[in-house]
């Protein structure tokens, strides 16, 4: 048991570093690019040309993934003192949250779908910041009127009452 107690933090930190390196190198994206010719392509000549996905949708998906990772991590560490390896892991997750949020705000939507998704994501981030009663709190902030008006316009246009 003493040997396990000594080796477990080392192994945990090693796994954390491997995960961080994999994330920083964007291994999944590189794999997809390397094997892009293996993905199925429609052969029907009459089929409409494939739409290029709005880049903001991928940025939003990455941001929401980072938020989910933090939620899961916080739940796993709730009510107890974190180890050094866990504190390092938390810092990595927080950096990823900040980076993916910044990427969303820096990405200009190129489609109506992307613009609607960006407004919904702004509402999602407001809910994360202010809690379930974010709409009332947002009205007290400078951006609140703008965000709520944009969200109402998106919901009216798409018929989606999302966040």
The per-residue pLDDT for range 4-52, each reduced to its tens digit, is 777 777 877 777 777 777 666 666 666 666 666 665 655 555 555 556 8
Together in a domain, 154 and 117: yes
Residue 75 lies in a domain: yes
Q: Tell me the residue range of the domain where 150 lies.
A: 111-158
How high does pLDDT run on average in the chain? 80
Burial of 45 (0-12, 13-18, 19+ CB in 10 A): exposed
Residue 48 lies in a domain: no
Residue 1 lies in a domain: no
Residue 101 lies in a domain: yes
The set of residues, in sequence order, having a beta carbon less than 8 Å from that of 162 and lying 6+ positions away, is 120, 123, 151, 155
Residue 67 lies in a domain: yes
Q: How confident is the model at residue 129 (pLDDT cuts 50, 70, 90)?
A: confident
Together in a domain, 16 and 79: yes
Together in a domain, 16 and 83: yes
Taking alpha carbons only, the member of 114, 125, 129, 130 closest to residue 56 is 114
The pLDDT value recorded for residue 41 is 58
Q: How confident is the model at residue 126 (pLDDT cuts 50, 70, 90)?
A: confident
Mean per-residue pLDDT, 57-78: 92
Q: How confident is the model at residue 94 (pLDDT cuts 50, 70, 90)?
A: very high
Q: How confident is the model at residue 128 (pLDDT cuts 50, 70, 90)?
A: confident
Among the three residues 108, 125, 141, which one is the final residue of a domain in this structure? Answer: 108
Together in a domain, 61 and 140: no
The pLDDT value recorded for residue 45 is 58
Together in a domain, 58 and 100: yes
The pLDDT value recorded for residue 44 is 53
Q: Are 100 and 63 in contact (CB under 8 A)?
A: yes
Quick one: DSSP state of residue 51?
Answer: P
The pLDDT value recorded for residue 95 is 93
Q: Are 95 and 57 in contact (CB under 8 A)?
A: no
The pLDDT value recorded for residue 49 is 56
Q: Examine the pLDDT at 160 and tell me if it is beyond 70.
A: no
Give the containing element (helix H, strand E) for 59: helix 55-77
Together in a domain, 129 and 152: yes
Mean per-residue pLDDT, 135-147: 75
Together in a domain, 121 and 102: no
The number of folded domains in the chain is 2
Together in a domain, 13 and 89: yes
């Amino acid at each position: 048991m003493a040997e396990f107690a000594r080796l477990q933090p080392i192994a945990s930190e090693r796994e954390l570093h491997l995960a961080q390196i994999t994330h920083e190198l964007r291994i999944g994206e590189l794999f997809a690019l390397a094997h892009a010719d293996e993905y199925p392509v429609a052969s029907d000549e009459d089929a409409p040309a494939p739409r290029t996905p709005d880049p903001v949708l991928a940025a939003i998906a990455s941001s929401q993934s980072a938020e989910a990772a933090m939620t899961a991590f916080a739940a796993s560490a709730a009510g107890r003192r974190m180890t050094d390896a866990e504190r390092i892991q938390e810092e990595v997750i927080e950096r990823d949250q900040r980076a993916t949020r910044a990427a969303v705000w820096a990405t200009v939507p190129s489609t109506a779908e992307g613009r609607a998704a960006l407004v919904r994501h702004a509402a999602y981030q407001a809910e994360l910041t202010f809690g379930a009663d974010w709409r009332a709190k947002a009205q007290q902030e400078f951006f609140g009127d703008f965000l709520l008006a944009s969200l109402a316009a998106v919901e009216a246009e798409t018929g989606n009452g999302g966040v």
